[in-house]
Amino acid sequence: MIKKCLFPVAGYGTRFLPATKAQPKEMLPILTKPLVQYGVEEAMAAGMDHIAFVTGRNKRAIEDHFDITYELEDMISGTSKESQLDCIRSLIEQCTFTYTRQNHMRGLGHAILIGEALIGEQPFGVILADDLCVGESDGIMAQMVKAYEKYRCSIVAVEEVPVEDVDKYGIVSGQHLDDEYVRVEYMVEKPSPQDAPSNLAVIGRYILTPDIFEILRNTPPGKNGEVQLTDALQAQAANGKVIAYRFRGQRFDCGSIEGFVDATNFFFNRKP
Ligand code: G1P
């Protein structure tokens, strides 16, 4: 069983300035729920009830969100508003939350390595809350757990993207095992369209085996001078230990304004 899920949430969210000047980008709401809560719900639905955050400066609102707010809760107790807190209350009751800080922004790989203290020696999920995912039946992370149970190695969620967009993603290529799975042979972070080995892009869902930490410790800065998770995964892929999984569902890039608006419209139209 995979019990822990890591959320790297130290990034600045400069694309949403000034909205993110004094609040974490992960707290921007899609309707009434902050982005990060969708991610935690997805982890929880996959059986991961230990939620580990790698936070940074100006991110305290995330900790407060996953805690009780006595004064407010007392104030609305017994009113019609109370039920609006049901979803977050149930997460707080069911999950354990742990936090550590990334002091320097040295890339996603570095953030994951900082998270080692919260994860230890076990396979774990990673959710990048900017990528808001809606599964067709099961959530994406629950689908990935099934992929892990089948292959017992690191799993990355992938989808095809337009060729002109490959420079925004980690791109994979390898042996297509069937419609759903690719045994990854090659991974590269944000290649130019002419250098990309395919248009299969990694989106922000991973299951990682714990040997990734030792690999990350020895991974030098790569693309943009940052320690790239993609480079560490390439070391596992070289041993046939990374499977790319084409998830069933939809993903919104809520790190971009267009994706954020699309997600908002999607959830608004789906409202009961
Ligand atoms: C990160 C990863 C990249 C991945 C992407 C998914 O990039 O480095 O490999 O494809 O997340 O959203 P970022 O979007 O943080 O630049």
Answer yes or no: is the C-beta of 11 below 6 A from any ligand 1 atom. Answer: no
Residue 137 has a pLDDT of 87
Tokens of 272: 């009961």
Angle at the Cα of 210 (from 206 to 213), degrees rounded to 5? 95
Beta bridge partners of 165: none
Neighbours of 219 (CB within 10 A): 22
Residue 272 has a pLDDT of 72
Residue 167 Cα, ligand 1 centroid: separation in angstroms? 10
Answer yes or no: is the C-beta of 26 below 6 A from any ligand 1 atom. Answer: no
Residue 41 has a pLDDT of 97
Residue 203 Cα, ligand 1 centroid: separation in angstroms? 7
Answer yes or no: is the C-beta of 39 below 6 A from any ligand 1 atom. Answer: no
Which contiguous run of DSSP H or E holds residue 261? helix 257-270
Residue nearest to atom 11 of ligand 1 (CA): 204
Residue nearest to atom 15 of ligand 1 (CA): 108
Residue 54 has a pLDDT of 97
Residue 236 has a pLDDT of 98
Q: Are strands 124-127 and 4-8 parallel, antiparallel or unpaired?
A: parallel
Q: Which atom in ligand 1 lies closest to the alpha carbon of residue 253?
A: 12
Tokens of 71: 């004064």
Q: Which atom in ligand 1 lies closest to the alpha carbon of residue 189?
A: 9
Question: What share of the chain in percent tops pLDDT 70?
Answer: 100
Answer yes or no: is the C-beta of 13 below 6 A from any ligand 1 atom. Answer: no
Residue 36: burial class (beta carbons within 10 Å; 0-12, 13-18, 19+): buried
Distances (CA, A) of 81 to 62, 63, 78, 114, 174: 22, 22, 8, 39, 51
Q: pLDDT below 50 — which residues of the chain?
A: none
Beta strand ranges found along the chain (DSSP E):
4-8, 29-30, 33-34, 50-55, 96-101, 124-127, 131-135, 154-160, 170-176, 181-189, 200-208, 242-246, 249-253
Give the phi and the psi of residue 193 in degrees, each rounded to 5.
-55, -35
CATH of domain 4-270: 3.90.550.10
Asked if 146 contacts 157 with a C-beta cutoff of 8 angstroms, the reply is: no
Answer yes or no: is the C-beta of 132 below 6 A from any ligand 1 atom. Answer: no
Distances (CA, A) of 94 to 41, 43, 67, 188: 11, 12, 12, 37
Residue 76 Cα, ligand 1 centroid: separation in angstroms? 40
- Please choose from 16, 110, 128 the residue to mutate so as to test ligand 1's pocket, defined by most ligand atoms within 8 A of CB: 128
Read off the pLDDT of residues 29-40 as tens digits, 9 standing for 90 and up: 999 999 999 999
Residue 151 Cα, ligand 1 centroid: separation in angstroms? 23
Q: How far apart are CA 152 and CA 16, in angstroms?
A: 38
Answer yes or no: is the C-beta of 202 below 6 A from any ligand 1 atom. Answer: yes
Answer yes or no: is the C-beta of 128 below 6 A from any ligand 1 atom. Answer: yes
Q: Which residues contact 94 (CB under 8 A, 6 or more apart)?
A: 44, 49
Residue 145 has a pLDDT of 98
The SS3 assignment for 30 reads strand
Tokens of 62: 């995330």
Answer yes or no: is the C-beta of 170 below 6 A from any ligand 1 atom. Answer: yes
Residue 77 has a pLDDT of 87
Residue 82 Cα, ligand 1 centroid: separation in angstroms? 37
Read off the pLDDT of residues 78-95 as tens digits, 9 standing for 90 and up: 898 888 888 999 999 999
Q: Which atom in ligand 1 lies closest to the alpha carbon of residue 108?
A: 8
Which contiguous run of DSSP H or E holds residue 69? none
